[in-house]
Amino acid sequence: MKILITGSNGTLGAALKRAAQAHGHQCIGWDRSAADPLAPDTHAAYIDTVAPDAVLHLAIAATQSGRPNEGWRTNVEWPLALAEACAQRSIPLVFTSTALVFDNSESGPFTLASASNASEGYGLEKRRAEHGVLLRHPRGARVARLGWQIDPAGGGNNMVAHAAREMASHGAIAASSRWYPACSFIDDTAAALLRLIAAPPGLYMLDSNRGATFAQILQALSQQYGLNWQVTPNEDYVYDQRLIDPRVGMPDLAQRLPGLAQ
């Protein structure tokens, strides 16, 4: 397939490109000079020029350039415009959302029957985008809620890079033994997103954590990759963020981190 990817230079975008190319797909990153994300009237013509077989929308408002309402326009209006354009052309769309559509006022684990409740910020923007994407492209949109990504070889906003920064700054990593984060190895997430292109339209949740705490996960990562982290467990944060959706075939973290099963 020819796959058009927004956010292709990001942490997850790079992993997705590797996975797609390994399966023989052609990947094209969204060209912001050809179609401004904040100018929806340019999107349809750009999609026609690329003529993709599928669109995977990963991009978010990670950096601000100072344009008015940039976060909302990037995180909400851009995916809605993409959904409309894809619907008009019968192009499959996979849109990545987040576990942060659930705030911590109610604890999980969350299922598809759980009502998202984020009332501000990024979580609210993703809630609005989820609803709009599914409404505008009901026969071809797949919304995938993601947790924190684990990438032992990568940087950016992934769990390993975060922990490494904490270790470098403080000589130890404070980690709650009562927080169950939604999280997955980034390559497993990328593979699942590719599978969703052919899955029935609708809402999905991608999470590999079956029951490990943040402290346990960091200790297992340190053991598995010889990182020599000093993990200091605490009980400062009490929350179960796990996402339960067996349809997507996400592997258990313990398959990648045998230390969790010990």
Return the domain boundaries, the chain: 2-147+183-206, 149-181+210-242+252-261
pTM for this prediction: 0.95
The one-letter code for the residue type at 28 is I
Class of domain 2-147+183-206: alpha beta
At 64 the pLDDT is 66
3-class SS string, 82-104: HHHHHHHHCCCEEEEEEHHHCCC
Q: Going residue by residue through the chain (262 aa), what tens digit of pLDDT does each one get? A: 999 999 998 889 999 999 999 999 999 999 999 999 999 999 999 999 999 999 999 998 766 667 778 888 999 999 999 999 999 999 999 999 999 999 989 999 999 999 999 999 999 999 999 999 999 999 999 999 999 999 998 788 899 999 999 999 999 999 999 999 999 999 999 999 999 999 999 999 999 999 999 999 999 999 999 999 999 999 999 999 999 999 999 999 999 999 997 6
Q: Which of 198, 182, 185 is nearest to 12 (CA)?
A: 185
SS3 label, residue 18? helix
At 63 the pLDDT is 63
Contact 208, 149 (CB under 8 A): no
Q: What are the backbone dihedrals phi and psi of residue 209, each rounded to the nearest 5 degrees, phi first?
A: -85, 110
